[in-house]
Amino acid sequence: MNTSTAPIKPSANTAKPLAKYAPYRRAGDFVFLSGVIAVEPERGLIVKGFADIPQEAALLMGQTGEFSSDIKQGPILAQSWFVLNKIKTTVESLGGEMKDVFKLVQYFKNLDHFALYSSVRNRFFEDISPASTVVEVSEMLPTPDILIEVEATAYLPLPRP
């Protein structure tokens, strides 16, 4: 199996890990993405709500302008969009598309958030949903503000000679 041993230098579009581990690794035609959370380490940003994602995305994800609704649902909707968008841009930076992602593992601090997350996920996977595993965990790094982490596996065939 052909595995890449060269150091991975994340691009601006690649999800960036919080520690010294690879954002993804290729093993032959498969790409395994590390878990992605709603954090931009270089900016010190933890996505906590609609204000932390682009306005167009916030409106698309369901921002209502009503404080009581947005403060309750905004954190999981914004984090879901951010995480899935980072997976999308990472896969695209490697020459793929979201349809190439065939497996997701989704970690939640609260499984009650699954329905809201699922509504966002359906926007990223319109044609076919990937195989999925859903797990509830007690805590995630780096702070209690993190509500979800998603890891992905994509099939991105290497060019053949």
| Average pLDDT for 42-64 | 94
Mean pLDDT of the 117-134 span: 95
Q: What is the DSSP-derived secondary structure letter of residue 157?
A: P
User: Rounded to the nearest 5°, which phi and psi values hold at 10?
Assistant: -60, 140
List beta partners, residue 32: 25, 153
**Domains, in order of start, for the chain:** 24-155 (3.30.1330.40)
User: Strands, E, within the chain: which ranges?
Assistant: 24-27, 30-36, 39-40, 45-46, 101-108, 131-136, 148-155
For residue 20 the two structure tokens come to 């010294």
Question: What are the structure tokens assigned to 65, written together?
Answer: 């302008």
**In what helix (H) or strand (E) does residue 120 lie, and over which residues does it extend?**
helix 114-124
Provide the percentage of residues in the chain whose pLDDT is more than 70: 88
- Give me the residues paired with residue 150 across strands: 36, 106
3-state secondary structure of 155: strand
Q: Does residue 19 have a pLDDT over 80?
A: no
Mean pLDDT of 56-79: 95
Total Cβ atoms within 10 A of residue 62: 17
Predicted pLDDT of residue 5: 44
pLDDT average, residue stretch 112-127: 96
Residue 154 confidence (pLDDT) above 80 = yes
Res. 35: pLDDT tops 50:
yes
Q: What is the pTM of this model?
A: 0.88
CA distances to 14, 15, 21, 55, 139 from 11, in Å? 5, 8, 15, 23, 28
pLDDT confidence band for 43 (50 / 70 / 90): confident
Q: How confident is the model at residue 130 (pLDDT cuts 50, 70, 90)?
A: very high
Res 2 pLDDT > 60: no
Mean pLDDT of the chain: 90
